[in-house]
Amino acid sequence: MSEQKKSITMKDVAIEAGVSVGTVSRVINKESGIKEVTLKKVEQAIKTLNYVPDLYARGMKRNRTETIALIVPSIWHPFFSEFAMHVENEVYKRQNKLLLCSINGTDREQDYLDMLRHNKVDGIVAITYSPIENYLTSGIPFVSIDRMYSNIEIACVSSDNEAGGREAAKQLIRRGCKHLAFVGGHNTTINETKRRRIAFENYVREHQYPFSVFDLDETEEDYNVKLEKFLSKNPDVDGIFTINDLFALDVIKILQNKGKKIPEDVQIIGYDGIKMAGDKDYLLSTIAQPLEEMAREAVRILFDIIDGKAVNMQTMLPITFIEGNTTKFVDRKR
Amino acid sequence: MSEQKKSITMKDVAIEAGVSVGTVSRVINKESGIKEVTLKKVEQAIKTLNYVPDLYARGMKRNRTETIALIVPSIWHPFFSEFAMHVENEVYKRQNKLLLCSINGTDREQDYLDMLRHNKVDGIVAITYSPIENYLTSGIPFVSIDRMYSNIEIACVSSDNEAGGREAAKQLIRRGCKHLAFVGGHNTTINETKRRRIAFENYVREHQYPFSVFDLDETEEDYNVKLEKFLSKNPDVDGIFTINDLFALDVIKILQNKGKKIPEDVQIIGYDGIKMAGDKDYLLSTIAQPLEEMAREAVRILFDIIDGKAVNMQTMLPITFIEGNTTKFVDRKR
DNA sequence: GTGAAAGCGCTAACAA
DNA sequence: TTGTTAGCGCTTTCAC
């Protein structure tokens, strides 16, 4: 293995071009007031030596790494990976890089936050359900998704979870559902997604329909087994709203195994609007979050914070109901 | 916005502890031969000041950033996001960070490779179908997935694509399929995934079954429309192997719309073994890649290269056939 | 317009 | 065992 340690530095370029390092630096940074000939010489030298500046060395002076971190619970989950894609796009547009921090079920928040302090990332976009605020001491620019922080002043971007829950209820009822249920995964920490359930439930109760809930801790074992029991015990449920699309797919699978017809016997609405659910066999009816816009807003706000501008602490983006084929205007017998 | 630029440095710690920066550095790096009292003093100072070392400043001396880059075509795709998750896990274990470079359809390879040179990442894991080798001048440690490079000596990790293609053919035939087809997305550059089709086709032809292919350029418009036409024109196809799981889901959807029963009328085998396809409604029969192991190997090899060890240039991991419910031993009339 | 030099936060070689 | 100091590659005064 040839250890080709030494890379081309600014000094090399300076020598090659017969100028000082200061001048090279000025060229790199496109400063004005450089004589045409000098510019040419330096550019030529850069080209012949195939020189690239070391951004971290620069960062040491400028106190900027041009790196943004994205914290997600698990990158394999389609909602998060789609979100990551959009964040990456935005970050890329601004010539920054994206550090991916996927918690992956293990307890990495603390570790990652430390790492990020070490590496002086310029800012963090986080979508996490852990009580991260305890760790968040550093005053680093931070934007959270779907998670309000009560104590600290932290910018938050989310979809209108309340409207989403309400809309789901409205649509199911309008389509003739008589017994509604919510299926979700509980989380210990408070977060905005809980509003989905609350708004849904409120609407249903206001309109005096029977209502059932299945809302276990996500980490609980035998989740699917318990879910199946729940569905068996509530055979007359004919309209289900799930906390997200993946849960909806689970529910569909279980109901199919029971021989239920969807949407004839049971109608289902998910939440998120992930690609997978829209493109593939069952076109899931869902409350779609404006994922791309959320990413765009989050990154925009983050950079505003980095640049010292004032920002809205709370940004809420509108949801839309997308009708797939798990809902339908049907005639109910009863 | 309070600009709290100045962060705690080693010098501050040194002063606080009443020692020199050299000593602090030694403590940070857990060198041996430090007097107990000094150690205590320094550790105390670090704690009271809440000091964290700047890894990039360190990197300037050590020529290491402890950062690995992962290049994928698009992070939203479940195969890549699952792979990313596993790579992230491995990188995290080694206390390194992961820079995510998702090409996202646009033409970013060149840009990213430049960025990575700028930022001196310690190594790159890439799963890309572009002719990246042209850009790859820097001699940076590099491991590619599913992509052999002819000219350059580059380490490659892949699943046994040939065995996979063959296995798919074998399983379909064993289950009574009489007319086989391959459905895939073409890519301009040569890559290992092509072997899937070739091995599949060879096996089918050897056994003298009728065979049809649909293998358009992925970027082609109206892909699904054309795919549908293909399936309409070949109504007697009863066994399909697709280049990956997502294509299989597309095929299923189209066939369902045509009123075909799966697996009774048509059997389908995908490739990859993504979570989504396994967990959800249709349990897709598929040739599963050992994704986690591939990630583990790739990262292991990468770090071996970084550490200057000799490595295998070609690592091929075994695939396994997983039977979902899109295949079945059925009695065929004809 | 451009060069010289100080210094960003750290490590490592050399002294003491 | 610890302190001192020279850089790592860059930016940025301050002179010229």
**Probe site for chain B from A276, A301, A311 (most B CB atoms < 10 A):** A276
Query: Does residue B236 share a domain with residue B125?
Result: no
Q: What is the SS3 assignment for B16?
A: helix
Contact assignment for A119 to B55 by CB distance below 8 Å: yes
* A 60-79 residues, CB < 7 A, strand D: 60-62
CA atom of B307 to C1′ atom of C12, Å? 20
Q: Which nucleotide is the nearest neighbour of B14, by CA and C1'? A: D3
Question: Is residue A248, in this structure, part of any structural domain at all?
Answer: yes
The whole-number average pLDDT for the span A120-140 is 81
Question: Is residue B333, in this structure, part of any structural domain at all?
Answer: no
Q: Does the pLDDT value for residue A277 go beyond 70?
A: no
Query: Does residue B286 share a domain with residue B200?
Result: yes
- Amino acid at residue number A310: A
Angle between helices A161-174 and A194-206 (to 10 degrees): 40
DSSP B262: T
Q: Which domain holds residue B131?
A: 67-159+291-318
**Partners of residue B104 in chain A, C-beta under 8 Å:** 85, 88-89
CATH of the domain at A35: 1.10.260.40
How much is the pLDDT for B218? 67
CATH of the domain at A98: 3.40.50.2300
- Rg of chain A's alpha carbons, rounded to an integer? 26
How much is the pLDDT for A3? 40
Query: Does residue B285 share a domain with residue B165?
Result: yes
Question: Is residue A324, in this structure, part of any structural domain at all?
Answer: no
Contact assignment for B50 to A276 by CB distance below 8 Å: no
C-alpha of B81 from chain center: 8
The chain-wide mean pLDDT, for chain B, equals: 88
Strand order of the β-sheet with A155-159 is A314-317, A155-159, A142-145, A123-126, A67-72, A97-102, B97-102, B67-72, B123-126, B142-145, B155-159, B314-317
Residue A7: pLDDT band with limits 50, 70, 90: confident
CA atom of B160 to C1′ atom of D9, Å? 45
- Amino acid at residue number B310: A
Percent above pLDDT 70 for chain A: 90
How much is the pLDDT for A2? 36
**Probe site for chain B from A102, A223, A275 (most B CB atoms < 10 A):** A102
Question: Is residue B29, in this structure, part of any structural domain at all?
Answer: yes
Percent above pLDDT 90 for chain A: 66
CA atom of B119 to C1′ atom of D8, Å? 14
- Amino acid at residue number A324: G
How much is the pLDDT for A312? 93
The whole-number average pLDDT for the span A224-233 is 90
**Partners of residue B117 in chain A, C-beta under 8 Å:** 52
Q: Which two three-digit tokens encode residue B309? A: 């060890």
Q: Using one digit for the tens of pLDDT, what is the confidence trace for B47-97?
A: 999 999 999 999 999 888 999 999 999 999 999 999 999 999 999 999 999
Å between B328 CA and nearest CA of chain A: 18
Q: What is the SS3 assignment for B287?
A: strand
How much is the pLDDT for B63? 87
**Probe site for chain B from A119, A246, A326 (most B CB atoms < 10 A):** A119
Select the more confidently predicted residue: A226 or B163: B163
H or E, element range at B145: strand B142-145
**Quick check: A29 CB within 7 A of strand D?**
yes
Contact assignment for A54 to B308 by CB distance below 8 Å: no
Q: Which nucleotide is the nearest neighbour of A8, by CA and C1'? A: D9
Question: Is residue B59, in this structure, part of any structural domain at all?
Answer: no
Question: Is residue A61, in this structure, part of any structural domain at all?
Answer: no
Å between B36 CA and nearest CA of chain A: 26
Number of independent structural domains in chain A: 3
Query: Does residue B149 share a domain with residue B298?
Result: yes
Out of A65, A81, A118, the one facing B76 most closely (by C-beta) is A81
**Probe site for chain B from A63, A135, A280 (most B CB atoms < 10 A):** A280
Q: How far is it, in rounded angstroms, from Cα A106 to Cα B299?
A: 20
- Rg of chain B's alpha carbons, rounded to an integer? 26
Query: Does residue B152 share a domain with residue B170?
Result: no
Å between B121 CA and nearest CA of chain A: 11
How much is the pLDDT for B4? 45
Three-state helix/strand/coil letters over B177-228: CCCEEEEEEECCCCCCCHHHHHHHHHHHHHCCCCEEEEEEECCCCCHHHHHH
Question: Is residue A328, in this structure, part of any structural domain at all?
Answer: no
Q: What is the SS3 assignment for A143?
A: strand
Query: Scanning the structure block, which residue is given the tokens 């490659």?
Result: B156
User: End of a domain among B290, B308, B329?
Assistant: B290
Q: Using one digit for the tens of pLDDT, what is the confidence trace for B240-253?
A: 999 999 889 889 88
Residue B325: pLDDT band with limits 50, 70, 90: confident
Query: Does residue A152 share a domain with residue A91?
Result: yes
pTM of full prediction above 0.85: yes
Q: How many CB atoms lie within 10 A of CB A332?
A: 10
Question: Is residue B99, in this structure, part of any structural domain at all?
Answer: yes
CB within 7 A of strand C: which residues qualify?
A 18-23, 26, 33-35, 37-39, 57, 60-61; B 6-7, 9-11, 21-22, 25, 28-29, 53-54, 57-58, 60-62
How much is the pLDDT for A5? 46
Q: Does the pLDDT value for residue A1 go beyond 60?
A: no
Q: Give counts: helices (H), strands (E), chain A.
A: 12, 12
Query: Does residue A214 share a domain with residue A170?
Result: yes
Contact assignment for A104 to B89 by CB distance below 8 Å: yes
Positions in chain D where some atom is under 7 Å from a protein CB: 1-5, 7-13
Contact assignment for A276 to B279 by CB distance below 8 Å: no
Query: Does residue A205 share a domain with residue A282?
Result: yes
The chain-wide mean pLDDT, for chain A, equals: 88
Q: Does the pLDDT value for residue A330 go beyond 90?
A: no
Q: Does the pLDDT value for residue B6 go beyond 70?
A: no
Contact assignment for A139 to B4 by CB distance below 8 Å: yes
**Partners of residue A7 in chain B, C-beta under 8 Å:** 120
Question: Is the CB of residue B249 less than 8 Å from the CB of residue B262?
Answer: no
Sorted by sequence, the CB contacts under 8 Å of residue A128 that are 6+ apart come out as A71, A72, A73, A103, A109, A144, A147
Nearest to A115 by CA among A130, A129, A94, A99: A99
First-to-last alpha carbon distance for chain A, in angstroms, is 77
* A 186-225 residues, CB < 7 A, strand D: none
Q: Using one digit for the tens of pLDDT, what is the confidence trace for B178-200?
A: 999 999 886 656 678 889 999 99
Nearest to A272 by CA among A311, A241, A229, A307: A241
Q: Using one digit for the tens of pLDDT, what is the confidence trace for A291-321?
A: 999 999 999 999 999 998 999 999 999 999 9
Query: Does residue A173 share a domain with residue A314?
Result: no
Q: Residue B159 forms beta bridges with which residues?
A: B317
Q: Cα torsion at A321, A325, A327, A328 (round to 10°)?
A: 110
CA atom of B64 to C1′ atom of D10, Å? 17
**Partners of residue A310 in chain B, C-beta under 8 Å:** 1
Of B133-142, B235-244, B292-301, least confident by mean pLDDT is B133-142
**Partners of residue A76 in chain B, C-beta under 8 Å:** 78, 81-82, 84-85, 275
Q: Which nucleotide is the nearest neighbour of B20, by CA and C1'? A: D3
Query: Does residue B128 share a domain with residue B227?
Result: no
H or E, element range at B69: strand B67-72
Query: Does residue A149 share a domain with residue A108?
Result: yes
How much is the pLDDT for A286? 95
Query: Does residue A173 share a domain with residue A145?
Result: no
**Partners of residue A52 in chain B, C-beta under 8 Å:** 114, 117-118
Question: Is the CB of residue A266 less than 8 Å from the CB of residue A328?
Answer: no
First-to-last alpha carbon distance for chain B, in angstroms, is 77
Contact assignment for B97 to A98 by CB distance below 8 Å: no
Contact assignment for A137 to B256 by CB distance below 8 Å: no
Å between B293 CA and nearest CA of chain A: 16
C-alpha of B289 from chain center: 11
Nearest to A330 by CA among A261, A242, A246, A247: A261
Q: Does the pLDDT value for residue B5 go beyond 60?
A: no
Å between A245 CA and nearest CA of chain B: 11
Q: Does the pLDDT value for residue A218 go beyond 70?
A: no
Contact assignment for B279 to A97 by CB distance below 8 Å: no
Å between A28 CA and nearest CA of chain B: 13
Residue A42: pLDDT band with limits 50, 70, 90: very high
